[in-house]
Amino acid sequence: QVQLVQSGAEVKKPGASVKVSCKASGYTFSSDDINWVRQATGQGLEWMGWMNPNSGNTGYAQKFQGRVTMTRNTSISTAYMELSSLRSADTAVYYCARGTLLPKGPYNHYVLDVWGQGTTVTVSS
């Protein structure tokens, strides 16, 4: 079955970096985008950015520009999200999600249809 499996929980100190992995299986990794979304405890969903595994092209939310880097290793069908200069406000669950197009009538709609299980990142001194 199609699934995304993320790396385990991380605890980091302020100012450090964290790199979260997201391994895809059950579909052709290069055929769909990987997006990253985070959620602080008790808060809503916050989109961070997308990456096209085929081209390596990326797009980041303005809030994270300069601090986030999304990469991939196509040989092992794995995407990565690295966030630098961590602060306590970055404490959250980080999700990867497949971005794909679903047809409805004559149009296609971009959706996040498969999600990883989430990776808890805790930033604390």
Partner 1 sequence: DIQLTQSPSFLSASVGDRVTITCRASQGISTYLNWYQQKPGKAPELLIYGASALQSGVPSRFSGSGSGTEFTLTISSLQPEDFATYYCQQLNSYPRGFTFGPGTKVDIK
Stretch that binds partner 1, among 12-20, 22-30, 57-65, 81-89 (CB under 8 A): 57-65
The minimum distance between CB 103 and partner 1, in angstroms, equals 9
Give CA–CA dist 95/39, Å, rounded.
8
Angle at 66 between CA 125 and CA 93, to 5 degrees: 50
Distance of CA 25 to the CA centre of its chain: 15
Chosen residue from 37, 51, 70, 83 binding partner 1 by CB under 8 A:
37
Cβ 7 vs Cβ 20: under 8 Å = yes
Stretch that binds partner 1, among 18-26, 67-75, 81-89, 103-111 (CB under 8 A): 103-111
The minimum distance between CB 63 and partner 1, in angstroms, equals 10
Compute and round to an integer the Cα radius of gyration of the chain: 14
| Contact call for residue 9 and partner 1 (CB under 8 A) | no
| Contact call for residue 59 and partner 1 (CB under 8 A) | yes
